[in-house]
Chain A
Amino acid sequence: EAGVAQSPRYKIIEKRQSVAFWCNPISGHATLYWYQQILGQGPKLLIQFQNNGVVDDSQLPKDRFSAERLKGVDSTLKIQPAKLEDSAVYLCASSRTIDSTNYGYTFGSGTRLTVV
């Protein structure tokens, strides 16, 4: 099966600009996740969707970050305005259900964001 697709792979923006990332999960996967991975750290969950509804966005900085998953398939994550500390890799992952029987998620290769 095709993997989780993300674009762009790399993005460099100036602080206070806006940026958007796109994710297309594995076909048939109902649950989609956005993670932020700062250099030298493990991924941190930003938001979790079940189909097109938000399950958990408790760690999403809502004053600047937004995400949507229209039609329950692909998803976009937006940052507006960006700060220097937003420099990180943004990983999208998907799983068949919240209680996926393989206990793990399939990750995309991520979008590496640099804010200067």
Chain B
Amino acid sequence: QKEVEQDPGPLSVPEGAIVSLNCTYSNSAFQYFMWYRQYSRKGPELLMYTYSSGNKEDGRFTAQVDKSSKYISLFIRDSQPSDSATYLCAMRGGGKLIFGQGTELSVKP
């Protein structure tokens, strides 16, 4: 069983849609939860991070963590074509950063 599981998609939505991206994990040692965005032929860039269970909002993005269920989500409101990218969840514990396999998102104008 992989430590981090992420639905690879691809996911295609119309502009303005609400997007939900999800990851599950198995390692209870994970303490920090992150979402990275990766544009084509670029390295991942940190989008959001959370430490505890609950929600964290940043503009159109909301990160949600449920430690009891070992489940994290990223919601994108009013999605834009510029949001088209691969979204990677990542979890850190014990000095290691473990990534999910990424979900490819395409937002159509």
Which residues of A are in contact with B by a Cβ distance under 8 Å?
4, 33, 40-45, 48, 55-56, 91, 93, 98-99, 102-110, 112
Contacts and interface: CB of A to CB of B under 8 A. Distances in A.
B49 A103 contact: yes
Contacts of B51: 103
Interface of B: 4, 6, 8, 32, 34, 36, 41-46, 49, 51, 88, 90, 92, 95-102
Contact of B88 (A42, A93, A103, A109): A42
Contacts of B88: 42-43
Contacts of A33: 97
Contact of A104 (B6, B46, B96, B101): B46
B45 A42 contact: no
Contact of B32 (A40, A42, A48, A103): A103
A41 B101 contact: yes
For B43, B49, B99, the residue with the greatest tally of chain A CB atoms inside 10 Å of its CB is B43
A104 B15 CA distance: 29
Main secondary structure of the interface of A (DSSP, over half): loop
Given A4-B43, A42-B88, A42-B102, A105 B97 contact: yes
Given A108-B43, A109-B41, 9 more contacts: A40-B102, A43-B44, A43-B88, A48-B96, A91-B43, A104-B49, A107-B45, A109-B42, A109-B43
Contact of B44 (A98, A103, A107, A112): A107
